[in-house]
Structure 1
């Protein structure tokens, strides 16, 4: 019986193994098998090494669920068999010693077996080999339940070859949950981890058996990997690095990656699509391969973590004297971009063309970013859908706006303290003014494009559907002015009263969808109560008499059930009477004051159907020259009244904005 020279449970507990790396114990076992075969080949170069990995799954069958392959049972363990040198006395002594330096020249840390017990309940070892000219077999169970190794060494009948079996049993939570389901995925990950070994002509034959399916890792490597004949050498500071370019002709890899190796073992994987802007999954569809870079170097060998799951290298260099992971990855990215230059240049060109086209046709408000934020625009990933492209451009615009604001403040501060020579700042001022001008043009372009969309929505809103029905009044009201909102809650850009009259674009709202005096029984200009008007003015309520009040009445398209008593003309005039009484209060409880100089403008926005036309004629309304509107001035009530058809509003608004649409190219 042999005893560990450490507190085994404590050592395993402190062993860091991320739950996202559940295959690390298997990788350690495979690499140990490779080393064991190499050690045997040092004494007998005729040995043809092999490593067989068997996947052990739960025995019970699962219920087949529609759309889900539930017939694949969970993996519980692995059995790794090799014909290496075996667990002879030297290897057994090393196994019993924590942090053994037995294979230090190969990068061994002497801790790999602790990964077994971190992720598995136990590991059973059986090793047959020749000792002092005689065949022997050593067997033992490695588990946390006992701190000693109760191994047995017995004589056996001669075998045709050495044979060591390591069985990793009963995978533990949370590692079991993170194990891949499919055998092919596991085989692929083994191939990724063993890249460097598979490149060697002496690499043992490695196979993975999963029930009735067998995967030959060496054949997979030869079929799927196209590697360059020479490594790319480069330096960071005084450290040398080697980068091997490979092409992975296998869609299962899913992305272009960088593999960082230390002592011939893969330690860290980096998704290069996150590091190189114009590199993405379309590389495979365009070229038939994913890129994989194999990075190695003495610096990586010397700075790998004890558990070989990460590097002891800072992400960024604080003082510039040390090499950081950012330095390493950025240097690799530069070399990869040279290697993939033709493809990346083509992708970049198509992306720039698409961004320009999108800005020109859909989002002119971002036009200035192409000039002033070029690097940020170039950093946008290719092939984004329109919605995500717009999100990225918006982020860049916010960055531009914030920087512009800061630069403006700096210039103002310079002027306030007094520049020693204003001429010395002239160029700076000119550049800043140019930026401001471009930003203002972009804002104007955005507003003009918004108007075009609103006009198209209004055109659609007044048309009947396939069943002959028209849009409800709420659609029109929301389009012209949001329901249940006041001027305190929205900016002028949020409404579209310019459709009726450009002068209304900056109106101050006296009442909009809020009951007078906050009394729900009182008359109110509520866009939800569609036959109630909306009253607006271009001045706030300061207690003075209003000079101008505008009242809007909107009706459902093609409505034709008006009567002499119930029609928009009577409703708006009645509303004038109530406001002119000087007894009505706004939503803040302040009196709405009018006088003999208060001018009312009343707009009925509706289709001029037969009944409404008859009523308007009875009130002596005059038809507009285009025959799509009617108007009258009511002397006694100081009210200009106009009935505007939807067609007239759309046509007039289109004419007013046509030059802007043409200049914008829409």
Structure 2
């Protein structure tokens, strides 16, 4: 009668992740051998593939079919076999054994064949482990045994991993170097732990199709240093963590893992701690704790730890752990990498160029190792601090009295909101510059920047507008006339002049007000008309007539809306003939960074007309915006660090 006191199929289906691969099988088998005190382990890999080389196509990579693990450990003696037959056995729990690892075999393979030659017992024991495993069905044979030898052989892949009919093939490549690297990364903590206790392990990988070999030796396991740190729970209780680290100035990769039960479980980057080492450096970082040991899942590829939230079971979050871990990393990196300051400056300068409004909210701990952190993560943290600062100021708004700290926080927030606004303007300018450089038609885009399309209410609040493209004086103009309102006024002009073409060829108009036009007292306005860019091909006489027509529109709106002061901007292409007509009609050229802006003031009506090309509009706006950006960059707290 079987002594496996659990339903094996249910364990495999419910407790073992479907993401398991042959690498997990190899890791599990080798780990079990190490825990059985093996010092020499051989992993033989074979394939049934026979890739044909037709001389034309690339030969496909060989895939692993069979896995054979041979070791010189204590084998399946009575104590080990009893533990094998018991689900979630506590045997060797001090080594991190959870009592479920062997079920990984049955997730990937149909069965595993075990053979163990035991020197002490002078006996050879064999059995087949599958979904119908019976612990009584073990073959025992007395034999003269001189050394312990245990073999696990897996040959029949589960149909969920290899099924030709359904075109399923999840086998790994038979690439010894790659397999060695993956196994080493996973087992570094285990090998390090045993090496520290005087037990050196050698693991040989063999490609049975070629007999090529590669070996993990004790020399592949770095001599780690360690640094302890503590993370405090909300209750004040402190939990100990240990960071084992090894950094060398040799080219290579950085491997960084959270570990449990002396095994690599999860990369730092998977828990939102993304950092790298500069070119010419490589190393390992392994963070372990009893807290991790108690919260690792059965497959040892994740933890029951929340990113931010905590509860009665998960009393620490990744955010809390990483905050302290990052502090330790800062000290180690500063001590071990002389280029730290230079790399930090370069990364901060990148962020300052991209997000100048966030530089004052970059956390001090991020500044210390900015050159090694992912830029997006630094920006996300700064954005979170920025939003928290805004929320704090808004929460305390309306108080009768404010402390000096509260006032300073409000002032800093206002300054950075302004920086954010200026930065948004850079995006608008860059987009328009690109379109004009590519000679794209941008009339509709410019119109959308100034005015929403197809609006029906008479007036509406626009909030932030883009009239700064014309002049920064107009940034406070917060109301606009709708498309519906503009059509009504144009219809009036049509009826008065008997001109039936105006509505059919409606000018591209936008009209903005200094305040709600329902209150006409001291009402000012800005009108923008955008002529099609092919307008330049029309006769100059007709183009100039269009400018005169704009004056009619402005006068009509001035009367209809009771506007005290109005400025109108005509955005069009200005050629030499149009410029000549403008000068002849008392239009004055104003200074700009490129072509002149032409202006005429009609004293009796108080109307100003400006005629400007799209390229001049953008370049002038860029020049004005650059003044703000230069001030921002020079006054930032980061500037001192960058000098």
SS at match of 1:365: helix
Q: Residues 621 and 153 from structure 1, CA distance in 2 versus in 1: closer, same or farther, beyond 3 angstroms?
A: same
Is the aligned partner of 1:141 residue 2:159?
Answer: no
Q: CA deviation at 1:272?
A: 3.9
Contact residue 247 and residue 284 of structure 2 kept, 8 A: yes
Contact residue 565 and residue 606 of structure 2 kept, 8 A: yes
Contact residue 484 and residue 528 of structure 1 kept, 8 A: no
Q: Which residue of 1 aligns with 2:389?
A: 400
Q: CA deviation at 1:660?
A: 5.2
Q: Which residue of 1 aligns with 2:357?
A: 365
RMSD between superposed Cα atoms in Å: 5.5
Q: Bigger CA drift: 569-578 or 329-338?
A: 329-338
Tell me how far apart the structure 1 counterparts of residues 46 and 580 of structure 2 sit (CA, whole Å): 89
Q: Residues 508 and 664 from structure 1, CA distance in 2 versus in 1: closer, same or farther, beyond 3 angstroms?
A: same
SS at match of 1:116: helix
Q: TM-score, normalised by structure 2?
A: 0.71
Q: TM-score, normalised by structure 1?
A: 0.69
SS at match of 2:453: coil
SS at match of 1:12: helix
Tell me how far apart the structure 1 counterparts of residues 15 and 303 of structure 2 sit (CA, whole Å): 13
Is the aligned partner of 1:127 residue 2:116?
Answer: yes
SS at match of 1:71: coil
Q: Residues 442 and 68 from structure 1, CA distance in 2 versus in 1: closer, same or farther, beyond 3 angstroms?
A: farther
User: After superposition, where does 1:347-366 map in structure 2 within 5 Å?
Assistant: 347=340, 350-351=343-344, 354-355=347-348, 358-359=351-352, 363-366=355-358
Q: CA deviation at 1:401?
A: 1.3
Contact residue 511 and residue 528 of structure 2 kept, 8 A: yes
Is the aligned partner of 1:226 residue 2:222?
Answer: yes
Of 510, 528, 531 in structure 2, the residue corresponding to residue 534 of structure 1 is 510
Q: Residues 449 and 568 from structure 1, CA distance in 2 versus in 1: closer, same or farther, beyond 3 angstroms?
A: farther
Radius of gyration: which is bigger? 1
Q: Residues 650 and 95 from structure 1, CA distance in 2 versus in 1: closer, same or farther, beyond 3 angstroms?
A: closer
Q: CA deviation at 1:483?
A: 6.3
CA-to-partner distance for each residue in 1:290-341, whole Å, 9 max, x for gaps? 22337477x887x587958389987788679989998887776665555444
Q: Residues 118 and 208 from structure 1, CA distance in 2 versus in 1: closer, same or farther, beyond 3 angstroms?
A: same
Q: Bigger CA drift: 510-519 or 140-149?
A: 510-519
Q: Which residue of 2 aligns with 1:260?
A: 260
Is the aligned partner of 1:170 residue 2:169?
Answer: no
Contact residue 553 and residue 568 of structure 1 kept, 8 A: no
Contact residue 49 and residue 62 of structure 2 kept, 8 A: no
Q: CA deviation at 1:377?
A: 6.2
User: After superposition, where does 1:441-520 map in structure 2 within 5 Å?
Assistant: 441-447=415-421, 472=441, 474=443, 477-478=446-447, 481-482=450-451, 484=453, 491=462, 493-496=464-467, 499=470, 502-503=473-474, 506=477, 508-512=479-483, 516-517=487-488
Q: CA deviation at 1:227?
A: 0.4
For this pair of structures, how many residues does the alignment match?
600
Q: CA deviation at 1:407?
A: 3.1
Contact residue 87 and residue 100 of structure 2 kept, 8 A: yes
Tell me how far apart the structure 1 counterparts of residues 241 and 524 of structure 2 sit (CA, whole Å): 78
Tell me how far apart the structure 1 counterparts of residues 243 and 580 of structure 2 sit (CA, whole Å): 87
Tell me how far apart the structure 2 counterparts of residues 131 and 501 of structure 1 sit (CA, whole Å): 91
Of 283, 290, 293 in structure 1, the residue corresponding to residue 283 of structure 2 is 290
Structure 2 residues without counterparts, runs of 5 or longer: 163-168, 232-236, 495-499, 635-643
Contact residue 479 and residue 495 of structure 1 kept, 8 A: no
Of 43, 59, 63 in structure 1, the residue corresponding to residue 49 of structure 2 is 59
Tell me how far apart the structure 1 counterparts of residues 227 and 378 of structure 2 sit (CA, whole Å): 36
Q: Residues 131 and 537 from structure 1, CA distance in 2 versus in 1: closer, same or farther, beyond 3 angstroms?
A: closer
Tell me how far apart the structure 1 counterparts of residues 377 and 205 of structure 2 sit (CA, whole Å): 42
Contact residue 90 and residue 98 of structure 2 kept, 8 A: yes
Tell me how far apart the structure 2 counterparts of residues 103 and 605 of structure 1 sit (CA, whole Å): 81
Contact residue 277 and residue 372 of structure 2 kept, 8 A: no
Q: CA deviation at 1:167?
A: 1.0
Q: Which residue of 1 aligns with 2:547?
A: 569
Q: Which residue of 1 aligns with 2:598?
A: 629
Of 559, 580, 597 in structure 1, the residue corresponding to residue 536 of structure 2 is 559
Of 560, 571, 584 in structure 2, the residue corresponding to residue 593 of structure 1 is 560
Q: Which residue of 1 aligns with 2:638?
A: none
Structure 1 residues without counterparts, runs of 5 or longer: 39-48, 416-424, 581-591
Contact residue 17 and residue 118 of structure 1 kept, 8 A: yes
SS at match of 1:3: coil
Of 270, 276, 281 in structure 1, the residue corresponding to residue 276 of structure 2 is 281
SS at match of 1:206: strand
Contact residue 512 and residue 525 of structure 1 kept, 8 A: no
Q: Residues 514 and 579 from structure 1, CA distance in 2 versus in 1: closer, same or farther, beyond 3 angstroms?
A: closer
Tell me how far apart the structure 1 counterparts of residues 80 and 430 of structure 2 sit (CA, whole Å): 80
CA-to-partner distance for each residue in 1:450-508, whole Å, 9 max, x for gaps? 66777788788877x7xxxx653517834862562769777453323552583575163
